[in-house]
Structure 1
Amino acid sequence: MGLKVGDKIPNFTAKDTNGNDFDSQNVIGKKPLVIYFYPKDNTPGCTTQACSFRDQYQDFKDFGAEVIGISSDSVASHLQFSQQFKLPFILLSDLDKKIRTLFGVPNSLFGLLPGRVTYVVDKKGIIIMVFDSMRAKNHISNVLEAIRNIIE
C-alpha cells in the first residue's frame, strides 16, 4: 500500500541531475514540497508534465515550495532532459526503484509502465495530497491549488 494523506514522507537519498548526492532530510520539514514520480524522460506525457511544472515553477517558488521529479532514468538522461527543456527544478535518479517502492507508487497500464503520482507535502513533512493520474496535464493545477491552500 502506498503513502497516503496524513503520512510522513520517508527519508531517502538519490543522485540529482548533476550527479550530486541528494538527501531528503535537507528539505523535508523545511518547506512545502511537490514530489512527482513519472515514467520516463523524453516521452510525450512526461515532457508535457515537466514543462508544465517548469512554466509554473515561479508560482511554486513564490509559495516557498520546491518541486522534485523522480524517475528510474539515469543521471545522464536527467541531465539531457533537464537541459533540453530548461527545467529549473530537481530531478532525481531512482535507477533501482527504491524511492518508488518506499512511496508505494503503483505501476499503471496493466503493470507495464511506472505510475505517475504527485505528492504535496507540507512544511512538517506530512502528505496533504496524493494525485494519481496518468494524465500529465492534470497534475499541475491540482498541485498548485493544494500548495496555495497550505500557505494561506
Structure 2
Amino acid sequence: MARLNFREIEPASGKSNDLDQFEKFAKIFLESVIGGKITKGPTRGADGGIDLRLEIEEHGTTVKKLVSCKHYANSKESVGVNDEIDIRDRLESFGCTVFVGFYSTIASTGLEQKLERLQKEKGIRSELYNSEDMALFRLNVDDLLAES
C-alpha cells in the first residue's frame, strides 16, 4: 500500500517554517473527505483544547465536532490519555457534541479505552482518524483519477 510520509509535514514546535501545516492539512482533509465546514481554526497560540471545529449536517441536524490534532509522526509516539485531557469539559466549552482525534500516528490503547468509557457512561461520541485512514483516502482518490 502506498503510504503518506507524515514526517514531511513540519512539527508544530521547534524551528519550523510552518508550525501550522498539520492543522491546515486536517482542515482540508476534513472538509474534502468528511464534508461539512470548518467554523473555527486553525489558529496559533493557546486554543483551550480545540484545534478545529467541524460543523456537519447529520440526519437534518447540524452537529458540531471538536477536532484535536496531534502530529507525532516525527517521534512515532502514539497519542495517549495524557495528551487528551478533559474531553467532556472541552466539548461543553465549545458547544460541541462529538470529539474527533486527528492524528499522524495512532491513539494508544488507553486513549481508545477512555473514549469507549465516555461513550458508554456519558454518551459522548468520538471519531478517530490516523495516518492509515488518510492514506486510504489518498489511494481512493488516486484510483478514481486513474480511472478517468
Q: TM bucket by the smaller chain?
A: 0.3 to 0.5
> TM-score with structure 1 length normalisation?
0.34
> TM-score with structure 2 length normalisation?
0.34
* Greater RCO (Cα-Cα under 8 Å, separation 6 or more): 1
Q: Whose Rg is larger?
A: 2
